[in-house]
Amino acid sequence: MDGQLELVVDQAPAVEVVRSARRRRTISAERVGDRIVVHVPARMSRAEEAEWVAKMVRRVLAGERRRHRGDADLLARAGELSARYLDGRAVPASVRWVDNQQQRWGSCTPSDRTIRLSRRLATMPDFVVDYVLLHELAHLIEAGHGAAFTALMQGFEQLARAEGFLDGVTHATRTADSAT
């Protein structure tokens, strides 16, 4: 390379903007192959378009990063949550994503200290995944859902929000399933 420094930079994905006269206010984005397609209203100014395209691309990429969390990431996060909320008392042997949990968000086996999270959680916000993971960690300390278990969960700042989020997802899923 004759003394020149080569800089390697992650390439941003190609972005395609689709303007629609039928679209009035909503903006959406999706990954289509190797590019991100952003749908905007036709009447939107170029400046607004640039601002929204950047925002929507960031959203799509953040969602993709969340979806690609592996089992090692879950185990590390479990350690962080245990230290923060449970004084480090819950030490799982393993934490992994599973595809066979359609009714539960997570499960654990206290005797071998294993935790399994439904892969359906992988696309949900971090606070929701943290809630389910903390819930299962608490079961490594307290098997039931009584007062002692509830006390373990009370320190989680997003408790009510996460429970509400999952209740909403459960309701929407059941409503959609009953409509078919």
The full set of domains in the chain, from first to last, is 14-67 (no CATH), 71-179 (3.30.2010.10)
Average pLDDT over residues 65-72: 75
Q: Is residue 58's pLDDT more than 70?
A: yes
Overall average pLDDT of the 147-176 stretch = 93
- Contacts (Cβ under 8 Å, ≥6 apart) of 16: 32, 35, 36, 37, 38
Read off the pLDDT of each residue in 50-71 and give the average, rounded to a whole number. 83
Residue 116 in contact with residue 98, Cβ under 8 Å?
yes
- State the pTM of this model: 0.65
Rounded Cα distance between 82 and 167, Å, is 24
What percent of the chain has pLDDT above 70?
90
Average pLDDT over residues 30-40: 89
Res. 63 pLDDT band, cuts 50 70 90:
confident
Q: Can you give the length of the chain in residues?
A: 180
**Interval 94-132: pLDDT, tens:** 999 999 988 899 999 999 999 999 988 987 888 999 999
Instruction: Give the range among 12-26, 85-99, 104-118, 165-179 with minimum mean pLDDT.
Output: 165-179
69 pLDDT above the threshold of 80: no
Kindly report which listed range (60-69, 128-137, 152-161, 170-179) carries the lowest average pLDDT score. 60-69
